[in-house]
Chain A
C-alpha cells in the first residue's frame, strides 16, 4: 500500500507493469502518420481469433484484461499489443481447459515452458471483504457492463475527491496509480458499471457509480508540470471525499 508522500512527484513506486501513466524513462512515441491497423499478417490472425476464441473463456468483465496484466514483462512488452493478446489467449484457453496445457508448445515441437503460460502469474484469491458490497440490479438488456443502480451517487459534479490506494494483492483494478492520493474534482457521472475489480475475480458484479474526475497537472506532477487538466474515470468504491475540503 503506502500512500503518496507529500512533496513526492509522479506515480507511487512499485506499480504493476501495465500501470504506465506518468512512469518515467520512456522516449519518443513511435508515431507514424496514418499508421495501418496491422503491420503483419500474424497480427490480423490474432485479432481475428478474439471474437470466437474467448467465447468459452474469460468472458467476465475485466477477466481478459487481467490475463494480459498477469503476463511476464517479456510477453507484455516484446511483441506489442497483438503479442500480448496472443499470449493471453494461450493463458486463458489453457486455464479454462479449452486447449490442453502446453498444447501450442507441443505442436511446435518446442520445449515445455516455451510459451507464456510458463511465466504468467496465477489469478490471485482476492479477499471479498476488501470489495464494496454487492447490490442487486435489474438484469441488463443484452451484453453490457452498464447497470441501473437505485442507490444515489455519493458524489456530484464539483465535489472534491481523493482515490485511496488500490488493492496491493496483485489482482485486477482500473484505478491508475498516478492519481492515488491526489485531489481531484468530479466533473460528471458516467453510466454505472459492473466493478471489474470484483468481476475479474469471479466475486460478483458489485456495480458502482462511475465518475469522470479532473486533476490539475500540478496536483499530479508538481508545480513545474506542463499546464493541462487530466481526466480519468473512477469507480465510486475507489473514492473518498477530500477531507480538507470538508473541514473548510
Chain B
C-alpha cells in the first residue's frame, strides 16, 4: 500500500483508471460547463507553488529567535500575531505553535487525513500524507524520527500532536548554536519545512 506512484510516470497515459487521465477529462468537463475557470485554476497552483510555502513559517521562526516578545506572542497568541502579520490563506482556523527547547521535542501528524498548516508551510510533502507516517508516528515516534535521520536523546521529552480538529500545529525549532552574528534573513534560511513539522532540526550555519 505504498503511496509511491512511479508507475504513474510512465505507463498509464491512456489508462482510464489513472487519476492523471481522469483529472484531465474532469477539468475539461468542468471548464466546458463554465464551472471552472482555467486561468483562476492556474493562479491558485502558481500561488501555492511559489508564494505560499515554508518561507512564511521560517520567517516567523527566525524572528522568534531574535525577539523574545515576538516569540512569546507567537506561542501564546499565534492567531492574533499571524493576522497582524497579514498572513492569510486556507487551513488556518486556529494555529498553535509548539516550541522545541532543550530536553523537549515536538512533532506534528494527522492520523485521520492530512491536516497541515498550509498558510504557514504551503502544501504538505507526500511523506507527511503517507499511511506509513500517519500509522507509525503516534505509535513508535522515536523509531520513525530516527529512521528519518533525527536521533533524540532518551531523556528528551517527546510530544506528538495529532491534528484531529481544525486547529493546525507548527513546531518552533531550537536555534542552532553558532548563529549569533546572523541576520534574520540568514537565520530563516536555516529553517526547513521538515524542521517546522518536527522531523528535523534547524540546519547548522555553513562556516
Contacts and interface: CB of A to CB of B under 8 A. Distances in A.
A145 B93 contact: yes
Chain A, interface residues (CB within 8 Å), range: 35 or more
B19 interface: yes
Considering residues A35, A48, A55, A212, which has the most beta carbons from chain B within 10 angstroms of its beta carbon? A48
Contact of A20 (B134, B147, B148, B154): B134
Contacts of A20: 111-112, 131, 134-135
Interface string B18-44: 111111111111100101110011101
Given A20-B135, A146-B94, A174 B17 contact: no
A30 B165 contact: no
Given A52-B37, A81-B124, 13 more contacts: A37-B122, A39-B126, A51-B40, A79-B3, A98-B30, A110-B17, A191-B94, A217-B141, A225-B139, A226-B141, A227-B142, A233-B162, A234-B165
Contacts of B16: 105, 108-110, 114-115
Pairs A-B, 9 closest by C-beta atoms:
A21-B111, A110-B16, A233-B165, A35-B125, A48-B41, A42-B20, A37-B123, A86-B19, A228-B158
A82 B112 contact: no
B48 A37 contact: yes
Nearest to B107: A228
B5 A29 contact: no
A155 interface: no
Interface in A42-87: 42, 44-53, 55-56, 65, 68, 77-83, 86-87
Given A18-B112, A23-B135, A86 B30 contact: no
Contacts of A38: 49, 123
Considering residues B130, B143, B166, B192, which has the most beta carbons from chain A within 10 angstroms of its beta carbon? B166
A30 B81 CA distance: 34
B93 A144 contact: yes
B51 interface: no
Given A30-B132, A44-B45, A108-B21, A89 B26 contact: yes
B182 interface: no
A48 B25 CA distance: 14
A94 to B, nearest CB: 11
A226 B44 contact: no
Interface string A92-131: 0100001100011101111000110000000000000000
